[in-house]
Amino acid sequence: MTGRILVFCEGIWLAHTARPLLVARALRKAGWDVHFGAHGRFAALPVSEGFPVHPVHTMDPELAMKRIRSARIGYDHRTVDLYVEDERTLIGRIKPDVILNDFRLPVAISARIEGVPFVNILNAYWTNYYAPRLRAPQDFILTRLLGKRLASALLAPVAKRLLALYARPFNDVASAHGLGHFGNIYDVMASPYLNLICDVEEFAPMEDAPEHFKYIGPILWEPAVEPPGWLEKIDPEKPVIYFSMGSTGFAHYFGILKAAFAETPYQVLMTTGGLDAGEMPENFFVAELVPGLSLVEKSDLVICHGGNGTIYQALSRGVPVLGIPTFHDQDFNMQRVEDLHLGAALYPRGLSAALLRTAAEDLIGNRAVKDSCSAFARKIRTTDSAAAALGHISALPAAP
Query: HEC states along 253-264?
Result: HHHHHHHHHCCC
Q: Which of 116, 117, 99 is nearest to 56 (CA)?
A: 99
Q: How many CA atoms lie within 13 A of 192 on its CB side?
A: 9
Burial degree of 263 (CB within 10 A; 0-12, 13-18, 19+): exposed
pLDDT at 235: 94
Nearest-angstrom CA–CA distance, 140 and 44: 34
What is the Cα–Cα distance from 365 to 141, expressed in whole angstroms?
34
Question: Using only C-alpha atoms, what is the Rg of the chain?
Answer: 21
- Please report the pLDDT score of residue 399 as a whole number: 61
Q: List, in order of start, the domains of the chain with CATH numbers.
A: 4-217+385-394 (3.40.50.2000), 229-380 (3.40.50.2000)
Count other Cβ atoms within 10 Å, centred on residue 319: 27
pTM given for the model:
0.92
Buried b (16+ CB within 10 A) or exposed e, 276-310: ebeeeeebbbbbeebbbbebbbbbbbbbbbbbbbb
Q: What pLDDT shows up at residue 62?
A: 79
> Which residue type does 367 have?
R
Structural contact between residues 196 and 216, judged by C-beta atoms closer than 8 angstroms: yes
Encode the chain (400 residues) as per-residue pLDDT tens digits: 789 999 999 999 888 999 999 999 999 999 999 999 999 999 999 999 999 999 999 998 777 777 666 556 679 999 999 999 999 999 999 999 999 999 999 999 999 999 999 999 999 999 999 999 988 787 777 777 788 888 888 888 888 998 999 999 999 999 999 999 999 999 999 999 999 999 999 999 999 999 999 999 999 988 878 888 899 999 999 999 999 876 555 667 888 999 999 999 999 999 887 666 778 899 999 887 788 899 999 999 999 989 899 999 999 999 999 999 988 889 999 999 999 999 999 988 889 999 999 999 999 989 999 999 999 999 898 889 999 999 999 999 876 5
Q: What is the pLDDT of residue 11?
A: 93
Q: Report the SS3 class of residue 215.
A: strand
Q: What is the structure's pLDDT at 248? A: 59
At 9, is the secondary structure helix, strand, or coil? strand
Q: Are 221 and 203 in contact (CB under 8 A)?
A: no
Residues linked to residue 118 through DSSP beta bridges, in sequence order: 99
Element (H, E) at 316: helix 308-316
How big is the chain, counted in residues?
400
Concatenated DSSP letters for 58-94?
Answer: ---HHHHHHHHHTT-----HHHHHHHHHHHHHHHHHH
pLDDT of residue 243: 94
Handedness of CA 303, 123, 76, 164 (dihedral sign): negative
**What residues contact 388, with CB distance under 8 A and at least 6 apart?**
196, 214, 215, 216, 217
Contact between 334 and 354 (Cβ < 8 Å)? no
179-185: long-range pairs with CB below 8 Å, 24+? 179/109, 179/112, 179/113, 182/108, 184/128, 184/160, 185/73, 185/105
**pLDDT of the residue at 287:** 86
